[in-house]
Amino acid sequence: MATALTNRHVLTKASVLSMNDTKEGGDLVKNQALVIDGERIMWIGSIDSIPQKYKEWEFHSLEDRVVTPGLIDCHTHLVFGGNRAKEFDMRLNGKTYQEIAAAGGGIASTVKDTRAASESYLIKSALTRLDEMINYGVTTVEIKSGYGLDIETECMMLRVARKLETLRPIRVKTSFLGSHGIDTLYKEKPEDYIHEVCLPALRKAYDEGLVDAVDGFCEIVALSTSQIKQVFKLAKELNIPVKLHAEQLSHSGGVQIAAAFNAISVDHLEYANEEDVKAMAASNSVAVVLPGAFYTLHEKQKPPIEYFRKYAVPMAIATDCNPGSSPMTSILLAMNMASTLFSITPQETITGVTKNAAKALGLNDIGILKEGMIADIAIWDIDHPSELSYRIGFNPLYKRIFRGNV
């Protein structure tokens, strides 16, 4: 495979983990062939059963390498100005997330840097992080706004996210996160922020075609349940799916609000309880587990993994790439952390960055390898998919195929 593949090709001698199975992770099937025509998978099956009509196409042996769907990072804050290395130092000197936020750090710090940044700077800095994600086999990434907290910067962040998709071979799904926090100018009048900034920003971003989903942060240091409701009501009016950062630092009641609005995903969830998980199961929401923030913030409260399993709530895993609580771009490291910190099995982690991550973004044509699906594929120099979660700081990606192209 030293040369680029043509638009019609047959990949042979592959060990395929299709994810097209009811059980977590599915089964690795050896001696398989994948037929790709343009951006679609046309056929998958045994090498010995390749249909005659494909036998004249160009063949490429993968030499028994493992093939999975392209990986999906379904929760990131990839676009931002500046960094928060100083806060990293503060945390290690005993300050809590809440104390840093109260002192003007946290999200407020990045808001200041992002507002001061030009669009070209935001594009350039985001590309350095996006390129790292691509190098780890990511073919789809979700990108949020949320570091503007004013109308123009929120929209600029989403325009940058859309632009990134034209500059690199990757699929970008955007989330409006104007409800990431309350702008400091509105600290004493948070309701005014909702009505004068957040809701108008959402309408403007929607009018510009910049919004695939609406997100929020329901927490003591961010928005209340009543404020989140107002944002979600507008999202519902605009027919935009919702998702929510909930129960990360405390139990705020966010999960119940998200479930009431049939959120496609609810994220973080360290303080979610059994009733919350039942509500997520009823609303068919995906639980997005974010071990990077848990690790960086030295948290102790783990998300209720056993409840997710008990009530069959799908689990996705993401980097949560952001400048403060999860400055991480490796989806493979997120998988390892999910296994090591939360006892999520390797079978669950690979499901969490493919099939379940696609579900968390409301996408039904990626995340699984089967006939008719888009040919987003990752090819790995490994013997078994569990190696993707097992290794630390190692990248065994051999080739990445996006929409049928290398």
Q: Name which of 265, 194, 203 is nearest 226 in CA terms.
A: 194
* CATH ID of 71-360, from 3.40.50.300, 3.50.50.60, 3.40.109.10, 3.20.20.140: 3.20.20.140
Residue-wise pLDDT for 42-65, tens only, equals 999 999 999 999 999 999 999 999
What's the mean pLDDT in 109-129?
A: 97
What's the mean pLDDT in 112-121?
A: 98
Share of the chain above pLDDT 70, in %: 97
Identify which has the larger pLDDT, 111 or 107: 111
Averaged pLDDT score across all residues of the chain: 95
Q: Report pLDDT for 25.
A: 65
Q: Report pLDDT for 24.
A: 67
Q: Report pLDDT for 300.
A: 97
Chain-centroid distance of CA 188 in Å reads 33
- Of the pLDDT bands very low, low, confident and very high (cuts 50, 70, 90), residue 406 is low
What's the mean pLDDT in 342-362?
A: 98
Residue-wise pLDDT for 366-388, tens only, equals 999 999 999 999 999 999 999 99
Q: What does the block give as tokens for 52?
A: 């005659």
pLDDT at 127 over 70: yes
pLDDT at 173 over 90: yes
* DSSP 8-state class, residue 302: P
pLDDT at 162 over 70: yes
- Of the pLDDT bands very low, low, confident and very high (cuts 50, 70, 90), residue 100 is confident
Q: Report pLDDT for 6.
A: 58
For the chain, the domains span: 8-69+368-401, 71-360
Identify which has the larger pLDDT, 24 or 162: 162
Report the helix count and the strand count for the chain, using DSSP H and E: 16, 15
Identify which has the larger pLDDT, 35 or 95: 35
- Of the pLDDT bands very low, low, confident and very high (cuts 50, 70, 90), residue 2 is very low
Neighbouring residues of 50: CB distance < 8 A, sequence distance ≥ 6: 10, 12, 33, 35, 43
Q: Report pLDDT for 134.
A: 98
Q: Report pLDDT for 87.
A: 85
pLDDT at 222 over 50: yes
How many CB atoms sit inside 10 A of residue 112's CB? 16
Residue 200: C-alpha distances to residues 63, 128, 140, 235 (Å): 55, 31, 28, 12
pLDDT at 4 over 80: no
Q: Report pLDDT for 1.
A: 42
**pTM confidence score:** 0.96
Name the class of domain 8-69+368-401.
mainly beta
Longest dimension (CA), the chain: 71
pLDDT at 103 over 50: yes
What's the mean pLDDT in 211-216?
A: 98
Residue with tokens 């130092």: 89
